[in-house]
A and B are shown apart, each in its own frame.
Chain A
Amino acid sequence: MSAVERPLIYANLRKPGYTIDIDCYIKHGGYEALKKAVAMKPDEVCKEVEISGLRGRGGAGFPTGMKWKFLDRKSGKPCYLVVNADESEPGTFKDRQIIYKDPHQMLEGIAITAWAIQAKQTFIYIRGEFQHGAKILENAIAEAKAKGFLGNNILGSGYSCDVVVHRGGGCYVCGEETGLIESLEGKRGYPRIKPPYFPAVLGVYNCPTIVNNAETMAQVKHVLAFGGAEFAKIGIPGDSGTHIWGVSGLVKRPGLYEIEAGKATFGQLLYDFCGGPLDGRTFKAIIPGGSSTKILKFGERFKGKLPNGQEFDWALEDIPLDSNSIAACGTGLGTGGTIVIDDSVEMIQALSNLNAFYAHETCGQCTPCREGSLWLSRVSKRITTGGGLESDVPLLLDIANQVAGRTICAHGEAVAWPVQSAVPKFKDEYLDSIKRRQKGESVPTLKLI
């Protein structure tokens, strides 16, 4: 069966002649879902999102409706909505499209969400590098306010919510929700300890806060447009809606592919949509959902049981593109940012490239992450420059094992997982890389570090 795309989020922005202005958006049915939402009680909107089964699109895949339920309503403090548009997980480039090509879709989702949780104010935390993107959003917000979709007295409901675009400063850890909140408060983006700092209880300004990913906001618009129960029929039980697969690296047609959850496989994504490997090459591995997810190797067999009890025995190409199936193979759907590696790549260089990223981006609060990420980066780099020892391979694993689970935020896992997953799978190749250099033999020409 051949797989097809089902664009939901990207449906309009791909149309020729589609523009970012509000008139174009309204012409394409824009802000009708918001009208539907404000005609409902906020709790009813929350309920629709809950029954839709929508899971957050920022990487962790937490059910959005359940997240909203955690809001501390008893404190009497105002609550805030913070939209995480700090797209910075390597391999991830899906939110950029929404911001630059269809900002109102996201804003409509924001207005619906703000109404549902009765947010006092909304902040869109956008990557500092998205300079023009921030301007596009600011203009779109002004347009939406002028038409009564945002700002004062939204659609005559008596409810008001202002939206402020807040630019970051080029820091990966600010994509972590509590680091983001600190940053939004005008501080260094040091993630906070949970407990007590669960954003839904103690978020921005120590008030209850919902932090949702930018694409999640766009998905919420469609939840309301379809209705929760109808939306839940898109995809598969346990993972509804579409996933945007951002494929990068060594394939013929890198790009963004929006596919109904569970309705295609990695094989179909990489061969049918992306055109397969570059001429004369073969696929070697993928990092399936952003650089922090665990690597999968071609030729591996994945066996086990899905949450519904179904047993499976898959090659990488057979894995269905839904969060449960991918998790069952020992990795994660993450952000859907799939990085493709072929046989021209020396795996130790690929690992060293990512280690350098995490070492650069550690915030430095927790010693295991601060020191561990730097050690991993230096040890893997010294292998690539010819100073590696055979004992460096178990050393990498040993260091990674001392980082994961020992830090305030998930950056520790992000540091450790690429190493913990790659070392067992590519140990022999790493040893070969070390020996080649010791003997002065040639090494692959593609430089990655």
Chain B
Amino acid sequence: MSLKPSTLSQADTIIAQYPQKRSATMPLLHLVQEDRGFITQEDMAWVAEKVGVTPMQVLEVVTFYPMFRQQAIGRRHVKVCRTLSCALRGSYALMESLEKSLNCPRGETSADGNFTLEFVECIADCGCGPVVQVDHALHENVAPEKASEFSEQIKNSLKDSNYGKNQPKPGTPEWNG
């Protein structure tokens, strides 16, 4: 079990919030995934024991929800909204550009391991489409014409040692994420 001590120590606090332990299944899975980046069989067994169900019952949950994953992904997880409002504003053209500039086909991780590029369904920011969630940040109005500038921004973030560590400011992509 290679989860951080802080992850392990939070588990009991989370479980105590619920009248029934099993309710903590998803919160614990989020916790594990935020720590490790994905969820292993060992993790599922740990969650199962913590909440008093079988590992199979945890696997059922992991495989139902699109946000949970059992494989590692790229260093940046790029999720482009595909649903109608964003599509009307050009998310398909945006996706085609990003596939080229990030050198990563949709639904896959780039060969260099830097990016995972996916289409996702509506993320509830339809008035600012197309929207793209990159890890913890939500980028609005990423019109197809801005694709190359946007992909440069994602690439540059790979060199930023403070990436994801700053306190979000209102109105920024990090705040909206």
A residues in contact (CB < 8 Å) with B: 19-20, 87-93, 95-96, 100-101, 121, 127-132, 162, 164, 166-172, 183-189, 205, 246-250, 254-256, 287, 291, 337, 339-341, 345, 350, 353-354, 356-357, 360-361, 363, 446-449
B116 at the interface (CB under 8 A from A): no
Q: In the complex the two chains form, what is the Cα distance from A171 to B120 in whole Å? A: 11
Shortest CB distance B67–A (Å): 4
Q: In the complex the two chains form, what is the Cα distance from A19 to B170 in whole Å? A: 9
Chain A residue nearest in CB terms to B120: A170
B40 at the interface (CB under 8 A from A): no
Contact B25 A186 (CB under 8 A): yes
B residues in contact (CB < 8 Å) with A: 17-20, 22-27, 29-30, 51, 53, 57, 60-61, 64-68, 82-85, 87-90, 92-93, 120-129, 133, 136, 168, 170, 174-177
Pick the contact of A169: B64, B85, B90 (CB < 8 A): B64
Contact B19 A121 (CB under 8 A): yes
Q: In the complex the two chains form, what is the Cα distance from A357 to B84 in whole Å? A: 9
Contact A187 B60 (CB under 8 A): yes
Chain B residue nearest in CB terms to A341: B88
Residues of B within 8 A of A171 (CB): 64-66
Contact A353/B60 with A167-B26, A186-B26 known, Cβ cut-off 8 Å? no
Contact A353 B124 (CB under 8 A): no
Residues of A within 8 A of B92 (CB): 447-449
Chain A residue nearest in CB terms to B135: A131
Chain B residue nearest in CB terms to A78: B19
Contact A354 B84 (CB under 8 A): yes
Contact B22 A186 (CB under 8 A): yes
Q: In the complex the two chains form, what is the Cα distance from A92 to B125 in whole Å? A: 7
Residues of B within 8 A of A354 (CB): 83-84
Chain B residue nearest in CB terms to A99: B124
Contact A128 B65 (CB under 8 A): yes
Shortest CB distance B23–A (Å): 5
Q: In the complex the two chains form, what is the Cα distance from A446 to B60 in whole Å? A: 38
Contact B27 A167 (CB under 8 A): yes
Contact A90 B65 (CB under 8 A): no
Residues of A within 8 A of B90 (CB): 446
Shortest CB distance A12–B (Å): 14
Q: In the complex the two chains form, what is the Cα distance from A254 to B66 in whole Å? A: 28
Residues of A within 8 A of B85 (CB): 90-91, 248-249, 339
Q: In the complex the two chains form, what is the Cα distance from A164 to B127 in whole Å? A: 29
Shortest CB distance B128–A (Å): 8
Shortest CB distance B17–A (Å): 5
Chain B residue nearest in CB terms to A121: B19
Residues of A within 8 A of B23 (CB): 166, 184-186
Chain A residue nearest in CB terms to B65: A169
Count chain A CB atoms within 10 A of each CB in B23, B53, B60, B82 and give the residue with the most. B23
Residues of B within 8 A of A250 (CB): 88-89
Contact A183 B84 (CB under 8 A): no
Q: In the complex the two chains form, what is the Cα distance from A205 to B83 in whole Å? A: 34
Q: In the complex the two chains form, what is the Cα distance from A439 to B128 in whole Å? A: 37
Chain A residue nearest in CB terms to B177: A132
Contact A254 B133 (CB under 8 A): no
* Listed A/B pairs (21) with beta-carbon separation below 8 Å: A87-B124, A90-B122, A91-B84, A93-B125, A100-B176, A129-B123, A131-B136, A169-B65, A170-B67, A171-B65, A171-B66, A186-B61, A187-B60, A188-B61, A189-B64, A256-B127, A339-B88, A350-B84, A353-B82, A446-B88, A447-B93
Chain B residue nearest in CB terms to A135: B168
Residues of B within 8 A of A172 (CB): 121-122
Contact B124 A205 (CB under 8 A): no
Contact A249 B27 (CB under 8 A): no
Residues of B within 8 A of A186 (CB): 20, 22-26, 51, 53, 61
Q: In the complex the two chains form, what is the Cα distance from A171 to B129 in whole Å? A: 20
Pick the 5 closest A-B CB pairs, nearest first.
Answer: A169-B65, A186-B25, A248-B126, A248-B85, A186-B22
Count chain B CB atoms within 10 A of each CB in A87, A249, A357, A361 and give the residue with the most. A249
Contact A132 B127 (CB under 8 A): no
Residues of A within 8 A of B88 (CB): 248-250, 339-341, 345, 350, 446, 448
Contact B20 A185 (CB under 8 A): yes
Residues of B within 8 A of A446 (CB): 88, 90
Contact B24 A90 (CB under 8 A): no
Residues of A within 8 A of B24 (CB): 186
Q: In the complex the two chains form, what is the Cα distance from A172 to B120 in whole Å? A: 12
Residues of B within 8 A of A128 (CB): 30, 65, 67
Q: In the complex the two chains form, what is the Cα distance from A93 to B177 in whole Å? A: 14
Contact A337 B51 (CB under 8 A): no
Chain A residue nearest in CB terms to B47: A186
Pick the contact of A129: B22, B67, B68 (CB < 8 A): B67
Chain B residue nearest in CB terms to A96: B124
Q: In the complex the two chains form, what is the Cα distance from A356 to B30 in whole Å? A: 27
Pick the contact of B26: A92, A166, A339 (CB < 8 A): A166
Contact B126 A337 (CB under 8 A): yes
Contact A170 B27 (CB under 8 A): no
Shortest CB distance A283–B (Å): 12
Contact A255/B27 with A131-B136, A291-B84, A339-B85 known, Cβ cut-off 8 Å? no
Q: In the complex the two chains form, what is the Cα distance from A127 to B30 in whole Å? A: 12
Shortest CB distance B66–A (Å): 4
Contact A166/B27 with A87-B124, A247-B127, A249-B85 known, Cβ cut-off 8 Å? yes
Shortest CB distance A240–B (Å): 25
